[in-house]
Structure 1
Amino acid sequence: MSQSMKPSSPVSPLRRSFVVASTLATAGFVFGCGRQSPAAAAPAADPSKPVTLVEFSNDGKRLRSVTAPKVVKTEAEWRKRLSPDAFVVTRRDGTERAFTGSLLNVHDKGVFRCICCDTALFDSATKFESGTGWPSFWQPIAKENVREHEDRTFGMVRTAVNCARCDAHLGHVFDDGPKPTGLRYCMNSVALKFAKAA
């Protein structure tokens, strides 16, 4: 039998598993929480206008409303301040891989704050297990502290979530969460830092 006439070898189960896993991982990025690759950042709010935020203690106690200036830095300043992964997610609308975030399994009492500017974003009391591979919350700690906007990447219409004070991309919000809100704020661990209650 000539070389060209030999039957082709079957696809190995290992290779098939790799292809399936790669496809599922890509779908998870797009449909689970955010984007697979960095993209241009969402339009930022006017940096000359101060923002009204609500300050919280690390045990989730509401302290006061404040008017604060926007946190604005150059790309070089953000790169110096953030890890490479945090920079890609927060400043370039990237997404960490599912089930890899350091805050996924954090269940202590405390507050999840913006990695870029320390603004309180989520209370641990609203965190739940969504099974998506990203930290999920059924509401932000205060609506004033986040900014939501339309995201039309990948041919879909989704709602992206940013920090109101520094415009850091945090993740997306979906309408398949638990009661009482029915929302799932699907966040990236690298966009947050956890402040444990005293």
Structure 2
Amino acid sequence: MENKEQRLKELTAIQFQVTQQEGTEAPFQNEFDQNFEDGIYVDIVSGEPLFSSKDKFDAGCGWPAFAKPIADTQLAELKDQRFGMTRTEVRSSDADSHLGHLFPDGPKELGGMRYCINSAALAFVKVDELEAQGYGEYLTLFK
């Protein structure tokens, strides 16, 4: 993928606000909240693979929710005490993009965690496009 500085120039205003300024997009009015197609979600800035649609669920919160990341090494978890509450912020490892927050209120049968992620921080790669876009190694998730 192109260098980070170039990619940042190509982001929309909401993508930049979310990933670079720790913003939050409006609930229920975003691209991936109700997307349940097979594929993977990658960091909009770096293209780093983050989540699989196999681990996505409808939390009813208005943002995409995932039970776990594709790999634990892809995410950084930081203490966030903004807005008078303590939460766990989730950032991508490679681009250091703000993605959203982690909460311990996910479905117990999926491990009990809920990664509440802004659509604006993500790009979606459909399963039939994984190979062509350089993510062929993730096809095994959908066999």
TM-score (norm 1): 0.61
SS state at 2:110 partner: coil
**Distance of aligned partners of 1:88 and 1:188 in 2 relative to their CA distance in 1, 3 Å threshold:** same
Q: Which residue of 1 aligns with 2:78?
A: 149
Superposed, which structure 2 residues align to 1:15-164 within 5 Å? 73=5, 77=6, 79-164=8-93
1:81 CA drift (Å): 1.9
Asked whether the 8 Å contact 2:4–2:45 carries over to 1, the reply is: no
Are 2:96 and 1:167 aligned? yes
1:78 CA drift (Å): 5.5
* Structure 1 segments unaligned to the other structure (5+ residues): 1-70
Asked whether the 8 Å contact 2:104–2:114 carries over to 1, the reply is: yes
Are 2:124 and 1:190 aligned? no
SS state at 1:104 partner: coil
SS state at 1:182 partner: coil
* Structure 2 segments unaligned to the other structure (5+ residues): 129-143
Alignment partners' CA distance in 2, 1:87 and 1:188: 12
Alignment partners' CA distance in 1, 2:30 and 2:77: 22
Identity %: 41
Alignment partners' CA distance in 2, 1:168 and 1:78: 12
Question: When the two structures are aligned, how many residues end up with a matched partner?
Answer: 125
Alignment partners' CA distance in 2, 1:180 and 1:186: 14
Q: Which residue of 1 aligns with 2:136?
A: none
Alignment partners' CA distance in 2, 1:72 and 1:79: 6
Stretches of 4+ moved more than 2 A in 1? none
Alignment partners' CA distance in 2, 1:169 and 1:97: 15
- RMSD (CA atoms): 1.3
